[in-house]
């Protein structure tokens, strides 16, 4: 590696994702606009060249880099709650009307890019803002579950920043907005590869206040449980617009400990999913205990009118489990989520 053969930038993925249905958010600063604007243009044009539809690229701006994480998180969460992105965002966080195209984009963002430029001055302001912004943008991705690309240049001089935007005075340099767009598209691909749920048209509820959800899962047979847990969480947030902050995950050491954790969630959740995988060939398998667990979970809704959904799979072996998961049209997580919404809606209606 090195010399003329060295290529700086994001390596292409091994297989391509159809990007035509992706929705990408770009939030950028108005500070240092002579450098930021080319970065935004580079990111936007690259996204379109990768197949993202122009009307699915939402561009918003904020005054400075310190405001990037807050605005990005607000926009992402509102999109996950099926909120109209144009009318509902606080005006002082976003750009003036007419600055950018305002598509009536509904539905969650698949990725976000935060773009800004910080240039070191003669005080410690640069260090404080750089650290706060980097940590803030990282938290946006972790808290919302949406891949969030760090597109903030932290440079020592104006020339360094201009070269990294492709508008250098002597050496034009390379526009890093191209790399950030490529990374955003690639991260959506990686995210979907880990949680293999297909986008499809479903009847989505319009929540005034999304229900609080508890997911209790067993640590036993984790290799089989993890894809189901991730798929259910993704299904709830991506296809049914539950708020990620309203989904609480709780791990039980054993499947037989699950009722205890469900009881704790009784006062804090409006919907509870119970996930577990039990193999009849396991040395710890006891049919009477599994039957008792199932009966206990089934009794909870009758006691406290709390919708609790038994998603415990009892199979002979891993091969039988895999066959069952694959034969369900749309995926088990989709079936569980739809059943939960139907039941919650029915229970929420006042009795006549």
Residues taking part in catalysis? 125
Nearest to 149 by CA among 17, 9, 24: 24
Tokens of 55: 């009307």
Distance between CA atoms of 74 and 153, rounded to whole angstroms? Answer: 22
- Looking up tokens 């260090």 gives 127
Residue 251, class by beta-carbon neighbours within 10 Å (0-12 exposed, 13-18 middle, 19+ buried)?
middle
List, in order, residues 6 or more apart from 129 with CB less than 8 Å away. 64, 65, 66, 118
Q: Which residues pair with 149 in a beta bridge?
A: 113
């Amino acid at each position: 590696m090195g010399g003329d053969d060295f290529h700086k930038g994001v390596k292409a993925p091994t297989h391509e994702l159809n990007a035509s249905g992706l929705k990408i958010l770009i939030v950028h600063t108005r500070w240092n606009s002579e450098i930021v604007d080319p970065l935004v243009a580079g990111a936007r044009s690259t996204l379109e060249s990768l197949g993202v539809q122009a009307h699915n690229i939402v561009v918003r701006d904020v005054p400075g880099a310190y405001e990037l994480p807050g605005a990005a998180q607000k926009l992402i969460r509102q999109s996950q709650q099926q909120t109209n992105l144009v009318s509902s965002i606080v005006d002082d966080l976003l750009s003036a009307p007419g600055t950018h195209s305002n598509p009536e984009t509904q539905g969650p963002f698949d990725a976000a890019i935060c773009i800004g430029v910080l240039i070191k001055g003669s005080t410690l302001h640069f260090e404080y803002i750089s650290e706060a912004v980097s940590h803030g943008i990282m938290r946006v991705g972790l808290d919302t579950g949406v891949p969030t690309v760090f597109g903030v240049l932290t440079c020592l001089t104006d020339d360094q920043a201009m070269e990294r935007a492709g508008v250098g005075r002597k050496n034009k340099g390379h526009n890093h907005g191209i790399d950030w767009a490529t990374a955003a598209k690639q991260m959506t691909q990686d995210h979907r590869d880990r949680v293999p749920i297909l986008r499809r048209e479903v009847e989505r509820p319009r929540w005034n206040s999304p229900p609080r959800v508890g997911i209790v899962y067993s640590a036993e047979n984790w290799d089989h449980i993890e894809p189901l847990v991730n798929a259910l969480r993704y299904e709830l947030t991506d296809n049914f617009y539950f708020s990620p902050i309203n989904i609480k995950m709780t791990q039980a050491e054993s499947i037989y400990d699950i009722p205890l954790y469900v009881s704790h969630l009784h006062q804090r959740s409006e919907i509870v999913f119970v996930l577990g995988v039990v193999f009849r060939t396991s040395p710890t398998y006891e049919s009477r205990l599994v039957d008792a667990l199932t009966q206990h979970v089934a009794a909870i809704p009758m006691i406290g009118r709390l919708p609790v959904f038994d998603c415990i799979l009892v199979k002979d072996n891993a091969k039988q489990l895999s066959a069952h998961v694959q034969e369900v049209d749309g995926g088990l997580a989709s079936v569980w989520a739809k059943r939960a919404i139907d039941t919650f809606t029915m229970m929420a209606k006042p009795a006549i």
